[in-house]
Amino acid sequence: MRIAFVASEVAPFAKSGGLADVAGALPRHLRDLGHDIRLFVPLYSSIGQRAADVTPLSTAQGVPLYLGPHFYRFSIVEGRLPDTNVPLYFVHCPEVYDRTTLYTDGVDEHLRFLVLQRAALETCQRLAFAPDIVHCNDWHTALMPLMLKTLYAWDALFGATRSVMSIHNIGYQGIFAHGTIHDIGGDVRGLLEPAAASGGPINWLREGVRHAHAVTTVSPTYAQEICTPLGGHGLDADLRARPDGVIGILNGVDYSEWNPATDRYLKHHYTADDLSGKAATKRALLDWLNLPVADTTPLMGIVSRLTVQKGFDLLFDTLPEILATRDLALVALGSGEARYEDFFARLQHRFPDRVVFHRGYHDELAHLIEAASDMFLMPSMYEPCGLNQMYSLKYGTVPIVRRTGGLADSVQMWDPSTRQGTGIVFNDFDAGGVWWAIHTALDLYKDRDAWLQIVRNGMAQDFSWERQAREYEAMYLALPRG
């Protein structure tokens, strides 16, 4: 199959979260299955020299784009996904991508991602690349199914194209004032949902859900959750209205990137058979962070975007109390909303010998925390898939998670009677739940035999992309042909 895969992030070039990991890995594995897949992403100015090995695509230079009253020119520079021959088409349009952050709250935010979507389809035309599949990811690319039915409907190149809308996070929908309808172009009014058609704001993700040939999301449990009023963030009725439903495919892990036996950031590698490298990594990180704690003190890690989704509100009262009463050290890495940054900063201030908060984004430290920690905390309010709990399993770092979305699908509660299970899982989104989970983990940590068994159970799990990519392939193949 010929596949155009379009996303707003791709690791290692531009990343704010798990979408980048998926866009950097899934295409490679679809390529390994024999598909002709091409990736389209913005050339953000922050990518800079990381995209050094690129050449201008001669058929797509200075291409004019009219978005309503706005006029842009874009050019494509072609690279490769690292260590693959998957073409990576960077959309170069400094007017919209020369910003300090990937996302902005500026007035032209919709234009920035209209440029991406239009550039992807215009480039297919210029390359005479007739995609069997246009694979859209999240709201930034959610208007392409609609564009294929309107602006590009005339072009036989797209006559057999099927569109797939993958939802990585339904909490972000891309909702813009009705007036932006002119920027989309084409005769879309008759196809928009009724409220948008009659003057209301335009919700991009809703239109993606309504017009794509298939809607997928990143775990089976999240596929069920978003079809309910509680989990649907207002789109549940649109999702339920789809006769074919929502297909849940758990994300995979890129084990070439996340493997304690080969991790390029680790000095001390390790495997399930010999965990001495994990102990050495813990010691080294504690020393580097200047934390005067013993090897026997359990170390808990957190690596996260600090947003309401991630559930850290539950820690405001519980974590200070637990740190005050139990032997525990914490290393947290993340940035985001001020109230969470302030909370972790205050925690470090109150427990300077046992808590380190690193505010910011830091790839290497993220790997070190995964490897050095004994346990990893993800108390998410909702979690479409979540990748860090799967990384943690591989690194022998016991995940403590709430039973939601992909966390529910990838971590099994430890059962002392069968000695099965890979982590600590709590059900209710309340302080009592996380309080119970952390205490349970700390108690279990003292039972060295049980702990080692949980660690080994986790390290034996396999969430490789090889298998998950086949599920995407099967989903593509099952799409009705026109």
Considering only CA atoms, give the Rg of the chain.
23
Secondary structure letter of residue 83 according to DSSP? T
Backbone φ, ψ for residue 359 (5° rounding):
-85, 125
**By the 8 A CB rule, do 250 and 222 touch?**
no
Nearer CB in complex with ligand GLC: 188/393 = 393
> Of ligand GLC, ligand ADP, none, which one sits near residue 362, judging by CB under 5 to 8 A according to partner kind?
ligand ADP
State whether residue 92 is helix, strand or coil: strand
**By the 8 A CB rule, do 383 and 404 touch?**
yes
Closest CA to 406 of 332, 453, 362, 468: 468
CB of 21 vs ligand ADP, minimal distance in Å: 5
Residues 70-109 that bind ligand GLC (CB under 6 A): none
Q: Which residue is nearest to ligand GLC (CB)?
A: 18
Interacting span for ligand ADP (CB under 6 A) from 115-123, 176-184, 280-288, 330-338:
330-338
Per rule CB under 6 A, count of chain residues that contact ligand GLC: 14
Task: Indicate which single residue of 57, 280, 387, 459 sits in contact with ligand GLC (rule: CB under 6 A).
Answer: 387
Q: Which segments of 198-337 does DSSP mark as H helices, in order?
A: 204-211, 220-225, 236-240, 276-288, 315-325
253 touches ligand ADP (CB under 6 A): no
Nearer CB in complex with ligand GLC: 152/382 = 382
Nearer CB in complex with ligand ADP: 25/146 = 25
Nearer CB in complex with ligand ADP: 298/301 = 301
- Count of helices and strands (H, E) across the chain: 18, 18
Residues 6+ positions from 261 with CB-CB distance below 8 Å: 269, 270, 271
CB of 260 vs ligand GLC, minimal distance in Å: 20
Residues 6+ positions from 339 with CB-CB distance below 8 Å: none
Nearer CB in complex with ligand GLC: 52/230 = 230
Task: Indicate which single residue of 172, 361, 429, 436 sits in contact with ligand ADP (rule: CB under 6 A).
Answer: 361
> Contact letters (x/-) for ligand GLC, 168-197, by CB under 6 A?
xx----------------------------
Upstream peptide bond of 201 is cis (omega within 30 degrees of 0)? no
366 touches ligand ADP (CB under 6 A): yes
Cα–Cα distance measured from residue 233 to residue 405, given in angstroms and rounded to the nearest whole number: 14
Per rule CB under 6 A, count of chain residues that contact ligand ADP: 18
Task: Indicate which single residue of 18, 174, 277, 421 sits in contact with ligand ADP (rule: CB under 6 A).
Answer: 18
**By the 8 A CB rule, do 139 and 167 touch?**
no
Nearer CB in complex with ligand ADP: 119/218 = 218
Closest CA to 383 of 370, 402, 366: 402
336 touches ligand GLC (CB under 6 A): no
> Of ligand ADP, ligand GLC, none, which one sits near residue 304, judging by CB under 5 to 8 A according to partner kind?
ligand ADP
> Contact letters (x/-) for ligand ADP, 187-216, by CB under 6 A?
------------------------------
CB of 405 vs ligand GLC, minimal distance in Å: 7
CB of 19 vs ligand GLC, minimal distance in Å: 5
Secondary structure letter of residue 208 according to DSSP? H
Torsion of CA 407, 408, 411, 416, to 10 degrees: 140
Backbone φ, ψ for residue 247 (5° rounding):
-95, 125
Nearer CB in complex with ligand ADP: 142/387 = 387
Cα–Cα distance measured from residue 336 to residue 339, given in angstroms and rounded to the nearest whole number: 9
> Contact letters (x/-) for ligand ADP, 255-294, by CB under 6 A?
----------------------------------------
Helix, strand, coil percentages for the chain (3-state, nearest 5): 40, 20, 40
Nearer CB in complex with ligand GLC: 18/27 = 18
**By the 8 A CB rule, do 333 and 303 touch?**
yes
Cα–Cα distance measured from residue 453 to residue 437, given in angstroms and rounded to the nearest whole number: 18
Residues that bind ligand GLC (CB under 6 A): 17-19, 22, 168-169, 218, 251, 383-387, 406
Q: Which residues bind ligand ADP (CB under 6 A)?
A: 17-19, 21, 303-305, 333-335, 361-363, 366, 385-388
